[in-house]
Structure 1
Amino acid sequence: MTYLPTQVQGRWYYLYLIQDLYSRKIVGWEIHEADDADHAVSLLKRTALSEGIHAMSDKPVLHGDNGSTLKATTVLAMLHWLGVKPSYSRPRVSDDNAFVESLFKTAKYRPEFPARGFATLEDARLWGCDFVHWYNFEHRHSGIRYVTPAQRHALEDRAILAARHQTYLQARERHPARWSRGTRDWTPIGAVTLNPEREAVVRNHVHAEDIGPLAA
């Protein structure tokens, strides 16, 4: 959740947002006049329905900050009902929710974001609708090899990146003098972790899957 300024000093609107860590896609969002756990519950339920959480054998984990909203009894009850495990940022660890924080910064530095704040709640929601559409379907995200979050979420990124790789190889073949090194790396991004120090854990897990389970 992040604050959106209004044109009234001391008054804010509240953007509730859920981002898929793997694809970077915004899978759920709402904007309200007040910070209330009921809004978070509504967003969780709606997002779970749209993403088909009930049919997943491996349920996702919902990571958020240590705010009271995400720890409210009603929110925890909804997560339990959905089979989703909650996760929270560690105290004084700034990069525990770095992906969403980066997204919020992108949103607030877009030229469409009003420098003097939003006049009405309707204005804020219209801006949110436009931003989410741009971010999901038009924004070529540098962290996922310049495909859109929607393309990666739909598992279309591998075919797109393979086609780009072939285009670069053909360009180098036609004009070899222009290439002093290899072509750009268009290998799809693999596993994504919240914290850099956990990457070794992911690598070991992937390696263990490649060689099969270990027997004691």
Structure 2
Amino acid sequence: MRQFILTGLVTVIMTLTYGQDLKNEDKELIKTEIQRMLKSDQKYRSLLSYGTLRQETADSIKSLSNDEQMKFMMSNKKKLAKNISDSLWTMQNNLDLENIIALEKIVTKYGWPSDNRLGDKISAEVLLFHTPTKKIESMETLLLKEVKEKRMDPNQFGMFVDNMRLKHGKSQLYGTNIEFSRELMKEMPPTVDDIETTNKARREIGLEILKEGEYRTKK
């Protein structure tokens, strides 16, 4: 009985400690690290996306709306030489792996660094979009725990999972991402395999179900 009480007490203490508000010094440390990672996340990616080696040109395009950027990228015929492109991608992929490993350590130690917990607009979720394939499974497991502990927005988690599925040629599970039609040149509702499976998965993480007109299914 005594052992049971002690075990329960330790569990409660650990839960309270892990779930408590972050200390100010921890917040600043985390924000500084995430800002560094966000900068390296785009170090070569913007140049590759816009087919230019001029940072000024890339910055100018990034100032456009998302829709205008997408249309530019779809119509832009400029491409970097293959040897240059391959070299930039190798360097960017290495940075992506370093970033996700660093983010994984932050989440493991402090929990998901949401804007609300940090008290500032940081958008750490942006880093998840470029998770290397070999880290997807471990990050999904880690972040699902954060959703259940109410430290991570379930929609952000759903977007991470759906983005990774789209990246590997699969339909979305949660239906959180608006898709862009190359044929129609406009945004379209998300595509899912089966709406019942999708809505069941959405309920499990605390999202409202998708209604008719809010999704598409493969024919």
* TM-score normalised to structure 2 length: 0.25
| Higher relative helix content | 2
- Structure with higher RCO (Cα < 8 A, 6+ apart): 1
TM, length-normalised to structure 1:
0.25
